Amino acid sequence: MSDLHKEVSDLERKSATAARLFDIRTIIGGLFVVYGVIVTIAGISPSEADLKKAQGVHINLWTGLAMLALGLFFLVWLKLRPAQPPATAPDAGDAPGN
């Protein structure tokens, strides 16, 4: 009986890890952070032609910072409210009245 309990415990732990790993917030947050860093770096020192096209607005810098903020929001949200593995449904043989 102890082996069965240990095996169930291991499966529950692996299920929780998989739920956290494949949470969509991880993917969205990570991508926004990576792209935010790239766009922010591109927007730190724009050329005169880029500024002229954007009518004097440092659009890459502001867009990159917004993407960074959104990506960090998703990652903080994931940290504060981690994903829970789906609850297991009871077996048909365990139902009362059988």
Query: What does the pLDDT look like over 10-62, one tens digit per residue?
Result: 766 766 666 666 788 889 999 999 999 999 999 999 889 989 999 999 999 99
Residue at 90 is within a domain: no
Query: What does the pLDDT look like over 48-86, one tens digit per residue?
Result: 998 999 999 999 999 999 999 999 999 999 888 876 666
Residue at 96 is within a domain: no
CA angle 43, 41, 26 (to 5 degrees): 115
Number of domains in the chain: 1
Range of the domain at 57: 28-81
Q: How far apart are CA 93 and CA 71, in angstroms?
A: 46
Residue at 86 is within a domain: no
Residue at 22 is within a domain: no
Residue at 50 is within a domain: yes
Output Rg (C-alpha) for the chain, integer angstroms. 23
pTM reported for the whole predicted model: 0.66
Residue at 11 is within a domain: no
Residue at 60 is within a domain: yes
Residue at 97 is within a domain: no
